[in-house]
Amino acid sequence: METESTQLKNEARRQRAYPTENLETRSLEKPKESHLNMVHFKFDCPHCQTRNSHFSGEENKINASKSFDSKPRGVVAEMPITCSSCKSISIGYFEGIERREMLQLLDTNQFQYQDLIFQLKTTIPKMPNPTCPEHTPKNVELAFIEAENALIARLYGSAASGYRKTIDRAITPLVDDGFKTKMLGQKLGNLQKSQSLPQTMIDWISIVKDNGNYALHDDDRDFVSEAEIMPARQFTLTLLQYLFTMPEEVKRARAAIDERKQAS
């Protein structure tokens, strides 16, 4: 049985939980200016890649979601949201969830507005998800994805040394045994001698190497733009496709031809 003081406490809680006058409605009515409030929650930022970054949005900017035909399933509302780490703005897409109980605890990606809980489902732009060319060995893929993530996060120096590490790991199986633990420059010398890669590839590898060395050793000037990193990135990608993806594709294409021959 509820005592009088419990009832009073519950009423106070209800007042806090339902701060607007429109207790009965489900519509997303705009609060009056005097009720303007910020809402806060956590999510991964697609701009600076901070995981679980703090985000905020203005309650009066919540709109019923209608701007995109392809809006995610279950999404009812959208709102501009600002990342506290990089100050960039994204559009947040929210699902509206019925509150199960008055004092239901909220998850970190949720906030309450009127009598609904809003849960952030996705953002535009979306969180980038770097991928690696197919059939790349695990250790090479790891270095490549690390470099890609650094590039997305605008850590250009880390990206440059990451692509260098990627090509180093990618060519190591090609060099003679005595060179496998040597420096990248020595591995390149060995490859040149054995002619196991075309000269253009060797030249490009040495550019990615120098780019990475520059990021590691030269502190007079740093990489400041994506454009400075893109040639090394593009070549690293091409090298992985050439070394790991293409041989498998060739095998597959050859098998398909042989199958057709047998069938005829």
Contacting positions for Zn ion (CB under 5 A): 45, 47-48, 83, 85-86
Q: Which is nearer to Zn ion, 47 or 233 (CB)?
A: 47
Do the Cβ atoms of 108 and 41 come closer than 8 Å?
yes
Q: Which is nearer to Zn ion, 90 or 166 (CB)?
A: 90
Shortest reach from residue 32's CB to Zn ion, in Å: 31
Residues sharing a CB contact under 8 Å with residue 97, sequence separation 6 or more, in sequence order: 110, 116, 117, 118, 119
According to DSSP, residue 86 is labeled T
Q: Which is nearer to Zn ion, 53 or 161 (CB)?
A: 53
Q: How far apart are CA 58 and CA 38, in angstroms?
A: 5
Shortest reach from residue 250's CB to Zn ion, in Å: 42
Facing residues of 63 across strands? 78
Q: Which is nearer to Zn ion, 45 or 143 (CB)?
A: 45
Shortest reach from residue 49's CB to Zn ion, in Å: 7
Residues sharing a CB contact under 8 Å with residue 131, sequence separation 6 or more, in sequence order: none
Q: Which is nearer to Zn ion, 10 or 56 (CB)?
A: 56
Shortest reach from residue 129's CB to Zn ion, in Å: 16
Count of Cβ atoms closer than 10 Å to residue 195 Cβ: 9
Count of Cβ atoms closer than 10 Å to residue 128 Cβ: 14
Shortest reach from residue 23's CB to Zn ion, in Å: 36
